[in-house]
Amino acid sequence: MNQVKASGFTKQMARNIFYGGSLFFILVFVALIFDSEQKIPQRSNAQALTPAVIAGKKLWETRNCIGCHTLLGEGAYFAPELGNVYKRRGPDFIKAWIQAMPTNAPGRRQMPQFNFTEKQLGDLVEFLRWTNNIDTGNWPPNIEG
């Protein structure tokens, strides 16, 4: 006589689901990585890298600007987003603002005075201009960051 086996979840079924699901999601992950790697050259603005942009990035890093500011959403959220500051304010404003620091406004924390040379200011502005032209998929969501 055929006995009807109670339907249950066996170890083999659990193992098959685990391995099948793992394989499926690994393949999805690999496909997403491949897709991202294909889009990065189009979105990164790497073709516009110049020695001035590279020097400006070094200033950004060595002066720890990211300790207060965000750049394309990365960094500290203490001071304004600078990924689109070039478009918002322009090169002359950026230079004047950096040179005017600290303003000693009461009740406001101050940006330090870095005593940049004109060349360093120009390099930093070029870095911010380059950053402004990266295709960020409309990040930040508002113009003021």
Give the model's pLDDT for residue 145.
Answer: 62
| Residue 9 domain-assigned (yes or no) | no
34 belongs to a structural domain: no
Q: So what's the pLDDT on residue 44?
A: 87
Identify the pLDDT of residue 22.
98
C-alpha separations of 98 from 2, 11, 57, 78 in Å: 86, 65, 16, 17
pLDDT at 3: 60
Q: What pLDDT shows up at residue 4?
A: 54
Mean pLDDT split into 10-residue runs, the chain, 145 residues: 66 95 98 94 90 97 94 89 92 95 84 94 97 85 73
Does residue 35 sit within a domain?
Answer: no
Q: Is this prediction's pTM over 0.85? A: no
Count how many domains the chain has.
1
Residues in Cβ contact with 121 at an 8 Å cutoff, skipping those fewer than 6 apart: 95, 98, 99
* CATH code (residue 106): 1.10.760.10
Residue 137 located in a structural domain: no
- Asked if the structure places residue 41 within a domain, the reply is no
C-alpha span between 32 and 133 (Å, rounded): 24
Residue tagged 């508002």 (tokens):
142
